[in-house]
Every structure is written in structure tokens, then in C-alpha cells.
Structure 1
Amino acid sequence: MKNLKKLLLVFLSIWFVEPTTFAQSNANVIGSKYTIASKVLGTDKEIQVYLPDTYQTSKEKYSVLYVIDGQWYFPLSVGVQHMLTQFKGASVTPKFIIVSIVNANMRQRYRLLVGQKAKYQQFIAQELIPMVEGKFRTTKERFLFGWQFAGSFALRVAGTNPTLFNACFAADPYPLMTKFDTDVKDLYDALPQIKQVNNLLCFYVGEHGETVTEGANYLNDFLVKTKAKQKGMQWVHQDLAGEEHRSTPFAALYRGLKRYYHNYPELVLHSFAEYKQKGGLEYIRNYYKERAKRFGFGPEVKEWTLFTLLRSAARANQLEQFQQLMKDFESEDFINKVRIQRALSVLSFYMRNQQPASALKYYRELEKKNANSARLHNAMGDAYLALNDKAKAKVCYKKAVELGTAQKDRRLPTYKKNLAKADGSK
């Protein structure tokens, strides 16, 4: 009985032990909040601002993404930017400032985006943008994003004030037809009056939204009918398979920004067919010239573009295509431009296809700048051995072993094995 009581006391002491306490952590804050005393709206308006992590350490100027409904989409837009720019040297877009407009509640949101859209647009143009561009380093390149009513509003802004934003991204925009909202007439009255612009409209539509789809189709047809492209207006109208009304904002913002910055990343072509269809090496050179002109990069063709094309031909085991690409890329000095590891990876395709003489031609070129590469000397030994020149193969393998030993190369056992093979021993 006493033992049972002891067990009960132990059990109760465990059961009623105080839970682990955690030290209070600092708040996880994204960006900064500001308040604008709007004379246009007759009320204070809260905005949120996110500055790129490079803003404080540089003198660089940044484009600005304006996000309607910051109470929902401010964190989302910051996340999208990080996804687009997270890999140094392989960013899809440059970094940009994010400014979101907070709508305090659904009633206020509806009133501003539907009942007072002209005033709301005036607030953005006359109060918000001047405040942002007066306080922060900006390029004057601006984008506007909105979902649902805010998407329709963003497109209205693009039509009635086409020089205010360089691009507008709309997710499931509604309404876009006068039968749903007579005020949409402003957009369709304004579009034919545009004389010459250089901006982009992107409107993306999710599944199962019949009225949204109908409106987006109507706008697309109207832009075609009024020959908007001839006036410099570009647009993307796309259905988002697998996305429903509430999930469209991420896809629309990500795709819209990627489309606007379509020639910012290093070019990647996925097949020889795509390479030929787009115009071959001339297309690649023009891409980099336009990229340099727009973003200030150097105009030279990047080795990653050439390497990925050769790699795709090798993976598809298309020797003829591979040989054509190697011939085309000689004028770009590809073999000396590419990293040694990538060059050897590409040239191994010649060896797998019993083309040692072709491989050796490029190995010799590589040797001029990579004389201390054990892996290169081993590859040269393989080529000479395939050509039945054991004497030269032995010289190359010896050099590979010598360098591999000094450099503690993990492939050293392979180099030694190849040297033994060239010696005629086991």
C-alpha cells in the first residue's frame, strides 16, 4: 500500500509539473509602417514598406511594387521577391522596394475599390507615389498588384492613367464587364484613347470563376480589337490551371514579375530544336545585347547558356546536334569561357560516342589555361589511349597522378589505375 502511495505521488508530481516556459522573443517584423494623412480621402491611410536587404549598404536605386490590400498580401509579396532573387548570380528579377496599402476592413476596402475608385486612384497618384519617391531611392519604375476588386481597379488605373505604372498585375480581376459594374466603362472608354505607351498588363484567372473568366476574355478581345499592341501596350491573359480564386495572388504576382523581367536572367534554352527555332546563335547574342541595354549588364554571351544547350544535347544522346553546337560556339570561345569542370563534363560526350580525336582537340585547348588540372590530364590520357597512343597516354596519366597526389584529389585511385593500364600492368 505504501508503495502504491509513493507511485501515486510520483505520478501526480509529474502530471502537475509546470510546463516549460519560454523567454519572450523579439517580434518578427517585416518592413516598416507609415501613416499618410490623406487630403484626397479625408482620412489617415496606413502603408507598409519593405526595403531590400541591400538598400542600406548601397547607393542603388530600386523599382517599386505597390500592393493593394497589404493586410493580406504584404508578407506574400516579400516572400515572392525572395523567391525570385534568392540565388546570387541566378536571380530571375532584380530586388525591389515593396509598398503596400492597408485596407482596414472589408467595408472600407469595398468602398475605396468600388464606390470611390477615382479618389483612390487620385490618392495613389498624387499622395502615395510622391511620398515614396521623395523618401526612398527609386528608379521611377513602378508596378501595381491587386486581387479581385483590386485587380479590376489595377487594370482601370492602367487604362485611365497608362504612364503611372510600367506594369499592372491582376489576379482574378472582377468586375471587368459593364453588366457587372457600370463604372468599368471608364476603362473601355480610356483604352482606345491611348496614343503611345510602353507598359504591360498581366491578368490571370483561376478555375471555376465563370464571371471572372468571362470578364478577362472580354478585356482580352477588346485589346485585340482596338489594336493596343500597335500603341506599345503589351499584355498577358492566362488561365491558371489548378488555381482557385483564393490561390491566384501568388501565381499571378510571381508570373507577372517574371514576365516583366523576362530578359533579366541568364538565358536558358532547353533543346536544340528551341535553339534553331529561335534563330540560333544570333538570337542568343541579341538577347544579351538587349539585356545589357536594359539592365546595364555586359553584352557578352554567358557560358551557362552555351553549357546548358550542350548538356541537353548530350543528355538526349544527339551527337549530330552536339557537334553542330560545338561548331557554332567556337566563335564564342566557349571552351575557354566555361569552367573546367563543366568543359570536361561536356567533352566526355565525345568519348562516350567514340570520338576521342574531337575530344582531344578541345582538351589541348583547355590545357593552355588549366595545366595544373589532374582531371584534365587524366581525360587526355583516356583520349590518347582510345587512339592507341599508349606513350602519350602514359605521359598524361603520370601527370594526373603527380598533380592528384599533390592536390589530394579524391580521384587519385582512378588516375593510378589508368596509369597502370597504360603501362600494360594490372
Structure 2
Amino acid sequence: MLFKRITLTILACLFASSSIQAESNEEAKNYELKVEKFESKVLKEEREVVVQLPKGYAENLDKKYPVIYRLDGAVYLPIMNAVLESLQSENAAPEVIIVAIENTDRFRDLFPTANEDPYGPVGYGGGGANFLSFITTELIPMVENKYRVHDFRVIAGGSAGGVFGLYALTQNPELFNAVIAYSPAVWWNYGAPAKRTVAFFKSSSQLEHYIYTSIGNEPAPMRPYYDDMILGMRANQPAGLRWVNDAYAGVRHNLVTAASIFSAYHNLFFSAYLRPEQFDGDIQSIGKYYDRVSQQRGEKLEAPEWVIRELGYHYVRSENYDKAIELFKHDIAKYPEMPDPYNGIAYGYEQMGEYKKALESINKALELSTPQHDGYQVYTDRQKRLHDLLNE
């Protein structure tokens, strides 16, 4: 249902105006847009970026935010907002600051090498190193000095922008925590971007990053170079890397971003609610998962009580009672003053036929509860049922 809702929202966005004025509807008025113009000493020209602040930025003065640096400008804000808002409604993504970088000379800035391949414009490109220097020494310091950000950075772009994102990773891996490359034009200059990316993978044993790549129905020469890059990346994937690669049959190059954007961000951000399919069975991994959530969001998050209890219920339903009881005990240890963890373990014991242990636990839940508590009637019903079972 979430995916369907997001898909419909994205389709609606595709028919919206591509200008920044499209943000004038009632929903978008809650975002504050800052247009930053400044003279770049590195690029020797005036540059412009549009900084979109989260809706609660002005009220939450102690909160810091991750930053998405979006190449190719503010035209992508509407579709990004549609996807991120849907994820945020499920607490599956944090609020973010988006820095939309407007273009002046796109080919010059985004391609690291000049193109010699007659398939494309010969002689164009080659300014990638200079543009990376601009981002590193001028843009990021300006953003981080002026706005409340923390040190989780994402760079996202399509086609030439995808190439630049991968280039930034290979040249300065610590600059961005995540790279999103929609249909990166890795055919450029006889596949130089593809070869550089594979060489970087071969030289990297550990990479605590997230990478998203995607491709549509692009023909040769793009597709062979892309496929070779993906094979080389798979064969040399560094430890610690989270990497998602999607292929969209029948989707044209210019629509790959729209097809990809949900998957890119859904897989990038850790949900605040650990799901059973994400849990590997190791109790210690719960804390490690929430450490990663906290690192992305810039604030300390712990596993909510109900999340741990739901994991326990999952294992009860799977009839893995030992793991279920282990989880319920962990829940009690973290939340000893709450009644619900004791009800959880009482449920586990009841399903195991351990009625005496179940009764002891539900009595503890009732001791910590009041008639006004949402679960109070459930507790009393369980207590009565257990008394009946023990008296049979």
C-alpha cells in the first residue's frame, strides 16, 4: 500500500511544473527555500544553490539534519519531496535539508574527463576535479556554517550527475556517506567513469557507504559499459558497503530518475522501526541497528518497546519460542517499569504451555498498570484465562 501510494504521488509530480515556482502550492509553503548566490573563487564565476529547509526547521532549534546535495538544481525538489514525505510519514526516513545545485556549464563540471568518444560531444567535459574542489572547499563549508546540519551527507544525480557522484566517491570517499547515481552516463570518454569506479572498488577493502545505481533501457554504447561496471563492482564489492542496483526494462534514460527515486531513498534510510525481516536473530544487532539509525539522523534513537515486543511475537508465531522469550526478556530489561513487556512474555509462555510462568508475568503487568491503560482489559482477560487453565 505504501509503494502504491508513493507511485501515484510520483506520477502526479511528473505532470507538475518543472520550475521552482511549482513549490507555491499549499503543501510546499511549509518548506522554506533559501536561494544562495555567491562568487566561487574556485570556478571563477557566480554560483547559485537552492537550500530547502525542513518544515519544522524554524521551531526545532536544537535539531540538526542530514543533507542531500542534489545535482541539476531545484527542478527535482517536487518529486523528492513527494517520496521523502511518504517515507517520513512511516518514520522510514528523517527530515532532511536539500541543497539543489544549479548548473552553469553542466558537461564541463560534471564529467571528470574530456570526451574523445565520437558517440557524444567531443572535447566537452574535464572540469570534474575543479567542481569537486568547489563543493569541498566552498559549498559544503558555506552550508555547514550557515545551517543546522550534522555530518551525514548524500550526493544524488542522474546521467552526468550520476557520473559525478561516483567520481566524488572515488576521489574523496569520506566526503559523502551515500551516492545516488540514476542512469549514470558511464559511456563517456570510452567508458572512463565505469573503469574508474571498478578500479576504486578493487583498491577498497572496506567501505562503510551506501551506493544506489540504476539503469533503464539504454542501448549501446551506454549499456555495455554500464553492465561491465556493475559486474566489476559485484566482483570486488568492499566489506561494509550497502549497494542497491535496479534495472527498469522499457524505461527511457530521461525517466530513470522518476522510476528509481523511491527505491533509492527507501533503501538508503533506516526506518525508526526495526522490522522482523531486518532482524538477524542476534539481540546485540538491535542496538547496532539503532546506532546506524542515530548516525543517519544525528540524534540518539533507541529501539521502542513495542518494536522489541513485536519481534518477540514474530518468533512466537514462528514457534521459535526460545528466541521469542529471549527477546521478551530483553524488552523487560530495557523497559522494566512498563507493563507491556510483561504481557509480551506472558503471551509467549502461554503459547508454550508454561501457564504458571505466564501468570507470574501477567500479574506483574497488572501490578504496573491501571484500569486506564490501553492494555488493561487484555491483561485481566489473560489472567483469568491462565487461572482457568491452571485449575483444569
| TM-score (ref. length: structure 2) | 0.70
Confirm whether residue 238 of structure 1 aligns to residue 245 of structure 2: yes
Distance in 2 of aligned mates of 1:141 and 1:286: 17
**Helix, strand or coil: the match of 1:164?**
coil
Tell me the amino acid that sits aligned with residue 96 of structure 1: V
**Residue by residue, what CA displacement relative to the aligned partner does 1:57-84 show, whole Å, maximum 9, x if unpaired?**
3133332211012243122223333233
User: Counterpart in 1 of 2:274?
Assistant: 267
Residue equivalent to 1:172:
183
Q: How does 1:3-42 map to 2 (within 5 A)?
A: 29=29, 30=31, 31-42=33-44
State whether residues 166 and 179 of structure 2, in contact with CA within 8 Å, keep that contact through their aligned partners in structure 1.
Answer: yes
Tell me which of 380, 385, 391 is aligned to 1:382: 385
Tell me, in whole angstroms, the C-alpha distance in 2 between the residues paired with 1:74 and 1:222. 33
| Correspondence for 1:131 | 142
Call closer, same or farther: CA 1:370–1:46 in 2, change over 3 Å: same
SS in 2 for 1:131: helix
Shift of 1:192: 7.4
1:26-425 to structure 2, matched below 5 A, reads 29=29, 30=31, 31-57=33-59, 58-87=61-90, 91-103=91-103, 108-114=105-111, 115-116=124-125, 117-118=127-128, 119-176=130-187, 178-179=189-190, 184=193, 187=196, 191=200, 200=209, 202-211=211-220, 212-223=222-233, 229=238, 234=241, 236-241=243-248, 244=251, 245-250=253-258, 252-262=260-270, 265-270=272-277, 278-288=280-290, 297=300, 302-314=304-316, 316=317, 318=318, 320-322=319-321, 324-327=323-326, 329-333=328-332, 340=339, 347=346, 356-372=355-371, 373-388=376-391
Corresponding residue SS for 1:95: coil
Deviations 1:370-424 (A, max 9, x none): 25334422331222233347xxxxxxxxxxxxxxxxxxxxxxxxxxxxxxxxxxx
What residue ranges of structure 2 are gaps of 5+ in the alignment? 1-23, 112-123
5+ residue gaps in structure 1? 1-23, 390-426
| 8 Å contact from structure 2 (residues 39, 46) kept in 1 | yes
User: Secondary structure at 1:280's aligned position in 2?
Assistant: coil
Deviations 1:148-205, CA, capped at 9 Å, x for gaps: 12111211222123333222111111125642x55x3883597379779855352322
Relative distance call for 1:155 and 1:219 in structure 2 (3 A) is same
**How far apart, in 1, do the equivalents of 2:266 and 2:274 lie?**
13
Q: Is the 8 A contact 1:351 1:359 kept in 2?
A: yes
Q: Secondary structure of the residue that 2:98 maps to in structure 1? A: strand
Task: Say which SS state the counterpart of residue 99 (structure 1) adopts.
Answer: strand
Q: Which moved more, 1:110-119 or 1:54-63?
A: 110-119
Q: Which amino acid aligns with 2:164?
A: F
Please state whether the residue corresponding to 1:162 is helix, strand or coil.
coil
Change (3 A) 1:52 1:25: closer
Amino acid at match of 2:75: W
Amino acid at match of 1:49: V
Q: Spell out, residue by residue over 1:8-55, the C-alpha distance to the aligned partner (whole angstroms, 9 max, x if none).
A: xxxxxxxxxxxxxxxx99895552323233454454333211112332
Higher relative CO (Cα under 8 Å, sequence separation at least 6) belongs to 2
Q: Deviations over 1:72-127 (max 9, x none)?
A: 3122223333233335xxx33332211001237xxx54454343442433433343
Assess if the C-alpha contact under 8 Å between 2:73 and 2:100 holds in 1: yes
Q: Output the CA distance in 1 between the equivalents of 2:246 and 2:205.
A: 28
SS of the residue corresponding to residue 50 of structure 2 reads strand
Matches of 2:380 and 2:54, distance apart in 1? 46
1:138 is displaced (CA, Å) by: 2.5
Task: Give the percent of matched residue pairs that are identical in Structure 1 and Structure 2.
Answer: 21
* TM-score normalised to structure 1 length: 0.65
Classify the secondary structure of the residue corresponding to 1:202. Answer: strand
Q: Is the 8 A contact 1:80 1:250 kept in 2?
A: no
Alpha-carbon spacing, 1:311–1:32, altered in 2? closer, same or farther (3 Å):
same
Kindly indicate whether the alpha-carbon contact (under 8 Å) linking 2:328 and 2:341 is maintained by their aligned counterparts in 1: no
Judging by fraction of residues, say which structure has more helix.
1
Please name the residue that 2:11 is paired with. none
Whether the 8 Å CA contact 2:332–2:342 is kept in 1: the answer is no
Change (3 A) 1:243 1:256: farther
Q: Is the 8 A contact 2:68 2:99 kept in 1?
A: yes
Q: Report the equivalent of 1:14.
A: none
Instruction: Tell me, in whole angstroms, the C-alpha distance in 2 between the residues paired with 1:281 and 1:352.
Output: 22
| 1:368 partner SS | helix
Structure 1's 157 and 322: CA in aligned 2 closer, same or farther, altered over 3 A?
same
Aligned length: 345
